[in-house]
Amino acid sequence: MRKAVFLDRDNTLIYDPGYIHEVDKVKLLDGVGEGLKLLKEAGYLLIVVSNQSGIGRGYFTEREFWEVNYRLQELLEHFNVQIDDFFFCPHRPGEGCKCRKPGTLMVEKAVEKWKIDVKESFVIGDKDIDVELAFRAGCRGGIKVGVPCFENFLKAASFIVGEK
């Protein structure tokens, strides 16, 4: 069984001005490359789980969502690290899907596909729903970045790696 860090994408890994879908706006946030590398070296799979209601709202296409992901991977090449997989929910709130965070379906799919021990895995995100996802999915922990204890991604990653 493997362990994973489930990663929110927007405003956790990359800056998001709101419904980001333009490749030329993709920018890594502070400490992300270094933090992901640290997690990868500690044996964690790096799996994005992202709410993308902009697709369901018709603001951008699934293809544009993937182009942002490919750009993210390109930026991470500089740090010699890559995201292992991407899961996303394209639905609007109120559609009653089971994937929109804090719903757990994206994590469940990843766990099955990659044979992950969810109890040894973490979530990192910038919203309360990301922390709630960790709790609901039965992860070891969930960390919200951009708060005093974890002001950037590297702080969160270092904390996880320090947990034995």
Residues that bind Mg ion in the complex, under the rule CB under 5 A:
8, 10-11, 126
Output DSSP code: residue 91.
P
84 noted as active-site residue: no
Q: Quick check: 129 binds Zn ion (CB under 5 A)?
A: no
Using an 8 Å Cβ cutoff, are 25 and 71 in contact? no
Q: Quick check: 20 binds Zn ion (CB under 5 A)?
A: no
Q: Which does 126 bind (CB under 5 to 8 A by kind): Mg ion, Zn ion, none?
A: Mg ion
Give the one residue of 29, 89, 156, 157 binding Zn ion; rule: CB under 5 A: 89
Cβ closest to Zn ion, residue 3 vs residue 91: 91
Q: Quick check: 97 binds Zn ion (CB under 5 A)?
A: yes
Q: Which residues contact 29 (CB under 8 A, 6 or more apart)?
A: 11, 12, 13, 14, 15, 152, 153
**8 a known binding residue?**
yes
24 noted as active-site residue: no
What one-letter code names the amino acid at 8?
Answer: D
Using an 8 Å Cβ cutoff, are 142 and 125 in contact? yes
Give catalytic residues, as residue numbers.
Answer: 8, 10
